[in-house]
Structure 1
Amino acid sequence: MNSTPTASRLHIAIFGRRNAGKSSLINAITNQDIALVSSVAGTTTDPVFKAMELLPIGPVVIIDTAGIDDVGELGELRVKKTYQVLNKTDLAVLIIDGETGVTDYDMEVLARIKEKKLPVVGIINKKDIAGYTPGDKKKWEQQLGISLLEVSALNREGIDDLKREIINKAPVDFSEIPIISDLLNPGDFAVLVIPIDKAAPKGRLILPQQQTIRDILDHDAIAIVTKEYELKETLDNLSKKPRIVVTDSQAFLKVAADTPKDVWMTSFSILFARHKGELAQLVAGVKAIEDLKPGDRVLISEACTHHRQADDIGKVKIPRWLRQMVGGDLHFEWSSGFTFPENLLEFKLVVHCGACMLNRREMLYRLSILKQKNIPVVNYGVLIAYVHGILPRALEPFPYARMMLK
């Protein structure tokens, strides 16, 4: 892994009307011509994501959105996608067109930003346009109730001031809960069990494994990596007992058998259930598995799109286990990528992946929607540990979440 994963970056989204200069602004901030710029209204039709470094914040993602005043049937869909971006936004930038001023569209998007309790940076673009005056700035600030910076994205004026304001407004707590480091002391051993099979990309580790290793090293603990069939030999040859053993969920049973009872044992997926969302909510969802009946509908949601293997965990294994537990057939639906179904009330249970491709804000949004609708949810690691009867042990490092089982 040569760069910070997108899901771990601060997400900065640019909002405004068509032709307010959103794409031009992104080009100015990044100092690259990465966003298509045109005088034709509605050039940007879907959210566009650009990873970059913004010091001293560090890695960020800049999101260019479609105009909030788009029209027509397709325009409504674009506006809907624009507002969905708020669910993954850490900081919003609202552009006011210096030529036309504040409109009801600007007031609407600002209200939605405030509803999400997001920090917002307001700017007036096209400050060099004929007819714009400092008096306009004062009037528009009063209308919006926020301060506004003056920039010219076309001439790249005022961009340094904008970057400073973004840095000042960036939430200090946007970074996620640690993956594993808060469970370790410096010098502790953490043994990571990583099966190598058809699903493992040749020459690489999958993202949660990479991120876990980095979190261990960043906090001066020691990562020891092995495969499931070498775990017992690895443990026998260590100079001291490890603090924790973390496994891929598919090797849960063997790893649980080979790990001493006085050593913590959990999975990457359970670590990420806490890292990205609310572990307690995902654990509480296992109770719904006992209430499933033949014919019930179950949603399996994955945050990424990937090539499915013959015995894919989400497409094959989890449906098979749930059918066996229910003693009959269930109706399964699948969602993938950044889309999340709107017909959630049709489902008796949602099974979510580890969400390594989502940022924490997006995952918390999904969980909040499910909580509001009273729909139980589990993630892959929690469900697999439950199916194999080892969930209480896998939750030993997380006492609060373990209480949800009682």
Structure 2
Amino acid sequence: MELARANRLHIGIFGKVNSGKSSLINLLTNREVSLISDKEGTTTDSVYKNIEFGALGPVVLMDTPGLGDKTELGFLREKRSKKDLERADIVLIVISDPEISEELEIIKSLKKTPKIIAINKCDILSHEDKQKIYDKLKDLKIKIIEISVKENTGIEKLRSEIIKLKPEEEIQIFEGLAREKDLVLLVMPQDIAAPQKRLILPQAESIRELLDRNCLVMAVKLEEYEDMLENLKRPPNLIVTDSQVFKEVFEKKPKESKLTSFSVLFAKSKGNIKSYMEGVRAFSKINKDSKILIAECCAHAPATEDIGRIKIPKMLKKKFGEDLQVDFQSGAFLPDDISKYDLIIQCGGCMLTRKNILSRIDRADNLQVPITNYGLTIAYFKEILDKIVI
């Protein structure tokens, strides 16, 4: 089965229109991944392509619309292109002339993201133009590679340097929680929101990692939870449940068994659990006049039992009043203006990369907007937050 896009490194290619980004991608991949043309603005929206990239393994290459298109549509494309920076684990900036103000803006905004610069069209750039580029980049500690997509030069060196930028491995889902031969029980309700004939990604990834850790793994629906406990020779070391049934599972679990949820596990492995825990404290300041944003990462049609669209809003309004404003946002990006919110409640983030989720958290933290996640929110309202493991 192909590795999920959310678990692949994302390499973002950024640069001005007609700088050679799409041609470069085709050379880096040895395939015609992106449409190329001498006409400016051929790439009108970000294009994502799953490929194998040497020692980096499975990655997603992001071919973004060019910077510098001054039309109204071009402005919207550029705005979208800059949003894609939130997704990129590695950024490649393609420069093809000495006017690099927009490229410098991107570089300076990427404080934590590994990045590299490719100076393209070196076969036709004058010595003076090259020197102007280097002068403007001299204070930046970034690797610069000279290339020519037309002549196919410098590409192998660039590929090698990109591979060297591989970020640290993501935190594993069960890091510090499950060891070899541990008995782990997964409680997985199969309600109307559950997909037919398959498991949702957090469940599937949890099972796979537990198997890799040589744990003893069992899965059960809530209805058979008590039966399973009665038939076990020893209590589970760890019970993982859907956050929606936290309370029911907690009330019947063995005293020795640790308890957590899939959403909490993903909050830790994909996000910043410290920021999320700080966000929970914001509930003490919420009132009927507050504004809360519920942020989902995947775009799906909400079911009648939807946790983000139905259940969490009911909890919020029951406690803080029906006049409480609760907004929703689905997809990879938060709204442009999040400063108006008193709290953001983020889903587990299984459909996005860790970089994407951390970018959301950093943005909220920088604006001093508290942010937490579904699992921690439900544990708080069920009054068991201090009784689960994180």
Q: What is aligned with 2:299?
A: 305
CA deviation profile, 1:216-264 (whole Å, cap 9, x unmatched): 1222223211111112222233343322100011221221122112210
Quick check: 2:83–2:333 contact (8 Å CA) kept in 1? no
CA deviation profile, 1:65-124 (whole Å, cap 9, x unmatched): 111212122222222222222222221111122xx44533333333333xx232222223
Quick check: 1:184–1:221 contact (8 Å CA) kept in 2? yes
Q: Tell me the SS of whatever aligns to 1:242.
A: coil
Q: Tell me the SS of whatever aligns to 2:27.
A: helix
Q: What is aligned with 2:149?
A: 153
1:183-222 to 2 correspondences below 5 Å: 183-222=177-216
Say whether 1:141 aligns with 2:137. Answer: no
Say whether 1:110 aligns with 2:107. Answer: yes
Q: Give the Å deviation of 1:38.
A: 1.6
Q: Give the Å deviation of 1:136.
A: 6.0
CA deviation profile, 1:284-317 (whole Å, cap 9, x unmatched): 3223223322232211111110121112211111
In structure 1, C-alpha distance between the alignment counterparts of 2:94 and 2:3, rounded to whole Å: 28
Say whether 1:21 aligns with 2:23. Answer: no
In structure 2, C-alpha distance between the alignment counterparts of 1:211 and 1:289, rounded to whole Å: 31
Unpaired runs of 5+ in structure 1?
Answer: 399-406
Quick check: 2:65–2:77 contact (8 Å CA) kept in 1? yes
Q: What is aligned with 1:69?
A: 68
Q: Which 10-residue stretch deviates more, 242-251 or 157-166?
A: 157-166
Change (3 A) 1:312 1:136: same
Matched to 1:125, the amino acid is: N
Matched to 1:88, the amino acid is: R
In structure 2, C-alpha distance between the alignment counterparts of 1:336 and 1:328, rounded to whole Å: 22
Q: Tell me the SS of whatever aligns to 1:14.
A: strand
In structure 2, C-alpha distance between the alignment counterparts of 1:234 and 1:134, rounded to whole Å: 74
In structure 1, C-alpha distance between the alignment counterparts of 2:107 and 2:288, rounded to whole Å: 46
Quick check: 1:181–1:216 contact (8 Å CA) kept in 2? no
So what's the TM-score if we normalise by structure 2?
0.92
Matched to 2:268, the amino acid is: R
1:252-267 to 2 correspondences below 5 Å: 252-267=246-261
CA deviation profile, 1:346-366 (whole Å, cap 9, x unmatched): 222211111111222221222
Q: Tell me the SS of whatever aligns to 1:285.
A: helix
1:347-362 to 2 correspondences below 5 Å: 347-362=341-356
2:308 to 296, 311, 314: 314
Q: What is aligned with 1:401?
A: none
Matched to 1:141, the amino acid is: Y
In structure 2, C-alpha distance between the alignment counterparts of 1:292 and 1:147, rounded to whole Å: 47
Q: Give the Å deviation of 1:270.
A: 0.7
Q: Give the Å deviation of 1:127.
A: 4.0
Change (3 A) 1:280 1:119: closer
Q: What is aligned with 2:225?
A: 231
In structure 1, C-alpha distance between the alignment counterparts of 2:83 and 2:346, rounded to whole Å: 19
Q: What is aligned with 1:288?
A: 282
Q: Tell me the SS of whatever aligns to 1:354.
A: coil
Q: Tell me the SS of whatever aligns to 1:286.
A: helix
CA deviation profile, 1:320-352 (whole Å, cap 9, x unmatched): 111111244211211110121133232222111
Q: Give the Å deviation of 1:18.
A: 0.7
% identical aligned pairs: 39
Change (3 A) 1:374 1:123: closer
Quick check: 1:181–1:215 contact (8 Å CA) kept in 2? no
In structure 2, C-alpha distance between the alignment counterparts of 1:246 and 1:147, rounded to whole Å: 44
* Residue correspondences, number: 387
In structure 2, C-alpha distance between the alignment counterparts of 1:21 and 1:367, rounded to whole Å: 33
Q: What is aligned with 2:324?
A: 330
1:159-170 to 2 correspondences below 5 Å: 159-170=155-166
In structure 2, C-alpha distance between the alignment counterparts of 1:69 and 1:77, rounded to whole Å: 11
Q: Give the Å deviation of 1:187.
A: 1.2
Change (3 A) 1:55 1:219: farther
Q: Which 10-residue stretch deviates more, 36-45 or 234-243?
A: 234-243
Q: Tell me the SS of whatever aligns to 2:176.
A: helix
Say whether 1:84 aligns with 2:83. Answer: yes
CA RMSD of aligned residues (A): 2.1
Q: Give the Å deviation of 1:154.
A: 4.5
So what's the TM-score if we normalise by structure 1?
0.88
Say whether 1:182 aligns with 2:176. Answer: yes
Q: Tell me the SS of whatever aligns to 2:55.
A: coil
Say whether 1:342 aligns with 2:336. Answer: yes
Change (3 A) 1:161 1:224: same
